[in-house]
Amino acid sequence: MSELSVNHLLGIKYLKEQDIQLIFETADHFKEVINRSIKKVPSLRDINIANIFFENSTRTKLSFELAEKRLSADVINFSAGQSSVKKGETLIDTVNNILSMKVDMVVMRHPNPGAGIFLSRHVKAAIINAGDGAHEHPTQALLDSFSIREKFGDVAGKNVVIVGDILHSRVALSNIFALKLLGANVKVCGPKTLIPKYIESLGVEVETNLRKALNWCDVANMLRIQNERLDISYFPTTREYTQQYGVNKALLNSLDKEIVIMHPGPINRGVEITSDVADSKQSIILNQVENGVAIRMAVIYLLAAKIK
């Protein structure tokens, strides 16, 4: 397979396994590029990309911008906070105004689930979903699976537990889709109030006991509590959540085997993981950040190849 089966990256659920493998193989090449002394390639010299973020972002926005610049694309950055959206302009009008400046690709983060899908039906540009509400965050799932592949050689057959606020997490949903597609065994772990009712229909198991989950897994992906999305109280106190579902070094050391710790960021140190876990040799959190640039370069490069 030499090209993607899709024209946009709207979510993992629209990809085939071959798409993911192609993205990984392309990312392998770009990982070599970003570790060279000259980190730039002229692959997308004639491509214009707009980064449109309707929600706050640090890592994702920087990672996409760096990926675009490493590929020599021309980049426009748009922040909704300082834009005409505040004056009542619609999403389509905003994007069409940007596209009239001859933009080929749009990277968008939006608080509403499905915003990228809606946009892809109304504008003539390749759309990359950089997170839509509590729906999907496809590039995060791709870089997480890529990091597992890098660590173990393959994702298939690995036991992965996703711990924390599954209910409000776009990272959890995209990770479940990607890991299942690649043949991993997936469990979710957290308070019952933060686990969606439908979750088992996605082929994952629910484990409410953290120690059991950690003893079962090869990889634990620790999610933060999405405080900005909590409209009601889902657990008594943060301290109680940490006692039940926080990972510290003493807990890691008491397990039957050594496991790998991941986190999509931002980390709430002392809540879901302690500093000595985040900074330990079992953690591949900074590898994830580095792999994020390579994966996003791969996605942008492969989608640009499909722009007519």
Is pLDDT of 2 > 90?
no
Structure tokens at 73: 């694309």
pLDDT digits (tens, 9 = 90+) for 283-292: 999 999 999 9
The reply to whether 121 sits in an annotated binding site is no
Alpha-carbon 139 to chain mean position: 5
Dihedral sign from CA coordinates of 97, 124, 30, 53: positive
Average pLDDT of span 146-159:
98
Q: Percentage of the chain surpassing pLDDT 90?
A: 75
Q: 43 or 225: whose pLDDT is higher?
A: 43
Q: Percentage of the chain surpassing pLDDT 70?
A: 93
219, 175 contact by CB (below 8 A): no
pLDDT at 159: 98
SS3 271: coil
Q: 226 or 102: whose pLDDT is higher?
A: 102
The reply to whether 226 sits in an annotated binding site is no
The reply to whether 137 sits in an annotated binding site is yes
Is pLDDT of 227 > 60?
no
Is pLDDT of 295 > 50?
yes
Alpha-carbon 140 to chain mean position: 2
Pairing of strands 159-163, 219-222: parallel
Q: Which of 19-28, 134-143, 265-274 has the lowest mean pLDDT?
A: 265-274
Dist. CA 1–CA 15, nearest whole Å: 13
Average pLDDT of span 133-159:
97
Supply the mean pLDDT for the chain: 92
The reply to whether 111 sits in an annotated binding site is no
The reply to whether 109 sits in an annotated binding site is yes
Pairing of strands 105-110, 74-79: unpaired
Dist. CA 127–CA 120, nearest whole Å: 6
pLDDT at 203: 95
pLDDT at 202: 95
Q: Of 170, 176, 178, give the one whose Cα is nearest residue 116.
A: 170
167, 197 contact by CB (below 8 A): no
User: Which CATH number is 8-137+289-305's, of 3.50.50.60, 3.40.50.300, 3.40.1390.10, 3.40.50.1370?
Assistant: 3.40.50.1370
pLDDT at 85: 61
Is pLDDT of 229 > 50?
no
Q: What is the pTM of this model?
A: 0.94
Q: Which of 4-8, 195-199, 249-253 has the lowest mean pLDDT?
A: 195-199
Q: Which DSSP state fits 113?
A: T
Average pLDDT of span 210-220:
98
pLDDT at 228: 52
Q: Name the CATH superfamily, with its identifier, for domain 138-283.
A: Aspartate/ornithine carbamoyltransferase (3.40.50.1370)
pLDDT at 226: 63
The reply to whether 59 sits in an annotated binding site is yes
The reply to whether 270 sits in an annotated binding site is no
What stretch(es) of the chain map to CATH 3.40.50.1370? 8-137+289-305, 138-283
What is the H or E stretch that residue 175 is in? Answer: helix 170-181
The reply to whether 140 sits in an annotated binding site is yes
Residues 6 or more apart whose Cβ sits within 8 Å of residue 42:
72
